[in-house]
Structure 1
Amino acid sequence: MRQEIKSHSFRTLLLLQLHCLLLVHLVESSAHLQIVTSKVGSRAVLPCSWKLRLEEAPPSPCHVQWRSPADTVFELWGTQKWQSEEFDGRAEIPEDKLESGDCSLIIKDAQIVDAGRYESFMVVNGVRSTKTRVFIQSVKLSVLDHKSLQTHRPGENLVLDLYTVHSERVVFQGRNSSEWSDLWKKGDKDCHRMEKNPLRDQLTIKKLERSDEGTYKVLDQHGLAVSTVQLSVDESSPPPKSHQIQEIQPLADDAAKNVCSALLLPVLVTTLQILHHS
């Protein structure tokens, strides 16, 4: 009898835990977290519409705040603007669209370190002339580096895209080596085999040799990879100077979340049914 009571208590506890897990999952799924994916150096738009939360238009001029978990990223109130040092000159809100509801945050020249969660707020009039901050939208930003495979013939040139003004150096690992060596640093003068395009964020390595085969990484000021190029130097390669194949990326966060939902919910429901009838 005591063993049956203990077994029943265990099943009840497990049933309760599964109910809680299912509830948490459903709450998270209903939060409608927006997912935005961008490449380093590209323009990222974090969507926001105050019409989702406010029944009437906020007082003019609109007062918008965008925050990360750590600090305020960007704030706009009429002609007054404020942005954090990390986003100096790179963040803006389309002022001409604010009245129609668009309070999206535009991040120019996106960087790996920009990745994370952002939340938008509208500051409106509260009771007794106080100001109230109303939550509008939560957005998760993913910033991906660039990856490619290239094949060139000996004597051809390799053009490395730096993608952003924040690229600081290029490192190289030979095909049969385990060590990385500095190939170029920002501010270096051109040499007979390496030249920086004065108008574009590009670095050209001239007259490739078989010894140039290997991996090239463009790094930013934080040492994070902006791009990775796997280079092969092959005399039998076809005439086109470069063949770039985009490396398969992992599932985007929203796709992964949908797959998880599709797998998790049936399993939980089946388990609950089994426990209920046991």
Structure 2
Amino acid sequence: MRMNTVTSLLHITASALWFSSSFDWVCAETPILISARVGSSVILPCDWRNVSSQNPHVEWRTFVETVLERRGTELYQAEEYEGRVDVPEDKLLKGNCSLVLKNVKAEDEGVYESYLVVKRTKRALQSKRVFLQSVELSVDETPEEPPEEHMSEVFTVKDKARMICNQPLMIAVSLISCLLFHLFFCSHSPSHLQNSPKLNSNHF
């Protein structure tokens, strides 16, 4: 019985050592706090320039799953993040491994960690993950309001449309007013003007 217990402890210790050897915990610092509104886009910062790598292979993950992996043109996205996350290839090659998250959802809230996957040696088959950055994302479920400039543009367009629609009505009212004024003036003109004789040019 004692022998079985010792063997189990050795297995657990060996597994723990193997797991820890697969990760290099560098730059282990307090998570960067980022907030975003539902429906907006957000960038989770990351930089790998302090790690040597010719062919950068970055991995973003939460505590429960891998969110994204990028190596050159190869890209993996988790199903619930498909089409919403990316690490642009051109920026990755320059040392920027920031995660772009679009159309933020309430369930996206949580801690995200980035790793650089590198081989121990050129001929080694096993890779290790070098810890890069931890980011804590908080999500505000208040809908994002349109900017003031956009609202003014909307009001301007509505005002212009209202003015265009009212132009025919204004023209019609003006014509009717002129007609009524003409009829009223003619029917109530002084009688002495209506009955006055024509001037004879020979009178003078």
TM-score range, shorter chain: 0.5 to 0.7
2:54 alignment counterpart: 59
CA drift of 1:81 comes to 0.9
> Any conservation in 2 of the 1:40–1:110 contact (CA below 8 Å)?
yes
Runs of 5+ consecutive residues of structure 1 not aligned to the other structure: 1-29, 149-159, 162-278
Mapping 1:187-266, distance limit 5 Å? none
Q: 1:59 deviation in Å?
A: 2.2
Q: Which residue number in structure 2 is paired with residue 260 of structure 1? A: none
Distance across 2 between alignment mates of 1:51 and 1:126:
18
CA distance in 1, matches of 2:54, 2:63: 26
CA shift for structure 1 position 98: 1.2
2:184: which partner in 1? Answer: none
**TM-score, length-normalised on structure 1?**
0.40
Question: Aligned residue for 1:141?
Answer: 137
Letter in 1 for 2:110: G
Q: 1:147 to 1:75 in 2, by over 3 A?
A: closer
* Superposition pairs of residues 147-162 of structure 1, within 5 angstroms: none
Offset at residue 44 of structure 1 (A): 1.1
Q: Which amino acid aligns with 2:137?
A: L
Q: Does 1:71 align with 2:69?
A: no
Describe the superposition over 1:157-184 as per-residue Cα deviations: whole angstroms up to 9, x where unpaired: xxx99xxxxxxxxxxxxxxxxxxxxxxx
| Residue number among 119, 124, 140 corresponding to 2:118 in the alignment | 124
In terms of fraction of residues, the more strand-rich structure is: 1
Amino acid of the structure 2 residue aligned with 1:37? S
> 2:30 is matched by which residue type in structure 1?
H
1:224-271 deviation per Cα after TM superposition (whole angstroms, max 9, x unaligned): xxxxxxxxxxxxxxxxxxxxxxxxxxxxxxxxxxxxxxxxxxxxxxxx
Q: Deviations over 1:77-128 (max 9, x none)?
A: 1221111111011000021111221000111000110000000001112045
Higher RCO, Cα 8 Å, sep 6+: 2
Letter in 2 for 1:136: L
What amino acid is aligned across from residue 146 of structure 1 in structure 2?
T
In 1: Cα distance, 2:142 partner to 2:100 partner: 21
Q: CA deviation at 1:32?
A: 2.9
Shift of 1:147: 6.4
**Secondary structure at 1:113 match in 2:** helix
Residue 115 in 1 paired to residue 109 in 2?
A: yes
Taking structure 1 as reference, are residues 96 and 116 closer, same or farther at Cα in structure 2, changes over 3 Å only? same
- Offset from partner CA, 1:183-210 (integer Å, 9 cap, x none): xxxxxxxxxxxxxxxxxxxxxxxxxxxx
Cα deviations by residue, 1:13-61 (Å, 9 ceiling, x for unpaired): xxxxxxxxxxxxxxxxx82311110000000110000124x1x3x122x
- Partner amino acid for 2:37? K
Contact 2:37–2:143 (Cα < 8 Å) also in 1: no
For 1:94 and 1:38, the matched residues in 2 are separated by 20
The alignment partner of 2:114 has SS state of strand
Structure (1 or 2) with the greater helix fraction: 2
Paired residues of 1:59 and 1:125 also in contact (CA < 8 A): no
**One-letter amino acid matched to 1:97:** K
Whole-Å separation in 2 of the counterparts to 1:103 and 1:112: 24
C-alpha separation in 2, matches of 1:89 and 1:147: 21
Opposite residue 29 of structure 2, the aligned amino acid is A
The answer to whether the 8 Å contact 1:51/1:101 transfers is yes
CA distance in 1, matches of 2:143, 2:43: 22
Alignment-derived partner of residue 94 in structure 1: 88
Which amino acid counterpart does residue 119 of structure 1 have in structure 2?
E
Q: How many residues align?
A: 117
Q: Please name the residue that 1:273 is paired with.
A: none
CA distance in 2, matches of 1:77, 1:147: 35
Q: Percent identity?
A: 41
1:31 paired with 2:25, answer no
Structure with the greater alpha carbon radius of gyration: 2
Range with bigger deviation, 114-123 or 73-82: 73-82
